[in-house]
Amino acid sequence: MIIETTSGWEDYELLDSGDGRKLEKFGKFVLDRPDPQIMWQKRLGPEVWTKADAVFEKSSEDNGSWVKKTVIPEKWEMKYQDLTFWLKLTPFKHTGVFPEQSQHWNWLKNLLQKREGQSKVLNLFAYTGISSLISAANGAFVTHVDASSQSITWAKENQLKSVLGAKPIRWILDDAIKFINREIKRGNKYDGIIMDPPVYGHGPHGERWDFKHDFPELVKICKSLLSDKPLFLLISAYATTDSALTIGNVIDDVTKDLGGKIDCGELAIKEKGSDRLLSAGIFGRWSNSL
């Protein structure tokens, strides 16, 4: 299945894509970024593309860098429905938000609002925390885990920016697998688990992560953290050669005795003024019958 990101955003637009690049509006600013999967031609002319406020330029000597064409602050705000959060130009061409994830945020909101009582949600590889904020804003007690202290600081700033400072979020700087193994020993349980694992990565103490090697075991271990009446499991992945069916099959391994429903597929962003879709990652998710 393909889930399109076409609604809910007032501050984001995919303006065009082509020739290995994508042109996007993030809040007040238009950014021109590379995307190696884009092999088709641009629809819009250079008179549009040259008006970008910043361009991420690749280099053979390093990972590339942003070139600002106008004055862009160190951070600026962006909104999605009731949330407000900070964006920044990072050294790895990202901005702190993945707009295609908005369809997952809506899915989470719907599930949590239907659940009676307070749900416990674990967010692994949680980055700047928008899924954590969505969960907390809709009644969940959230445990937010990331191996980057900078990402956790950013997520805390987003919590304050969205005026959710009173909502219960536990911030954990740790390697995901080490943390969940300790949680199992402590007997802690969660009603929902979110994860967005990278292809490769390192924990705060040099722990190595390899998606192909570690992902199946991580999902298997996570089953031991699910409560007696679990609500969901949500997994997103980027820049991997594996398919959405792979993620769906791994989820099926750990949920087939729980009932419920599995969806898997691609997240896609629709271009403004066009029917063309840009693939933005793969996902698999399981939800229990309510």
Q: List the beta bridge partners of residue 170.
A: 143
Question: 3-class DSSP state for residue 81?
Answer: coil
Q: Quick check: 145 pLDDT over 90?
A: yes
Tell me the average pLDDT of the chain.
92
How many of the other CB atoms lie within 10 Å of CB of 159?
A: 24
Confidence band, pLDDT 50/70/90 cuts, at residue 123: very high
**Which strand (E) or helix (H) includes residue 23?**
strand 21-26
Confidence band, pLDDT 50/70/90 cuts, at residue 242: confident
| pLDDT digits 0-9 by tens, 17-51 | 999 999 999 999 999 999 999 999 999 999 999 99
Q: What is the pLDDT of residue 198?
A: 79
Q: What is the pLDDT of residue 4?
A: 74
Q: What is the pLDDT of residue 41?
A: 97
Q: What is the pLDDT of residue 61?
A: 64
Residue ranges in 211-243 assigned as alpha helix (H) = 211-222
Percent of the chain with pLDDT strictly greater than 70: 93
| pLDDT digits 0-9 by tens, 72-117 | 999 999 999 999 999 999 998 999 999 999 999 999 999 999 998 8
Confidence band, pLDDT 50/70/90 cuts, at residue 7: low
Q: What is the pLDDT of residue 104?
A: 95
Whether the CB-CB separation of 141 and 121 falls below 8 Å is answered with yes
For residues 165 and 66, give the distance between their C-alpha atoms in angstroms, rounded to a whole number.
32
Q: Which long-range contacts (CB under 8 A, 24 or more apart) does 109-114 make?
A: 109/134, 109/137, 109/138, 111/192, 111/231, 111/232, 111/287, 111/290, 112/138, 112/139, 112/140, 112/192, 112/231, 113/138, 113/139, 114/290
Q: What is the pLDDT of residue 64?
A: 87
| pLDDT digits 0-9 by tens, 165-201 | 999 999 999 999 899 999 999 999 999 999 998 776 6
Question: 3-class DSSP state for residue 43?
Answer: coil
Backbone angles phi, psi at 148, to 5 degrees: -110, 120
Confidence band, pLDDT 50/70/90 cuts, at residue 208: confident
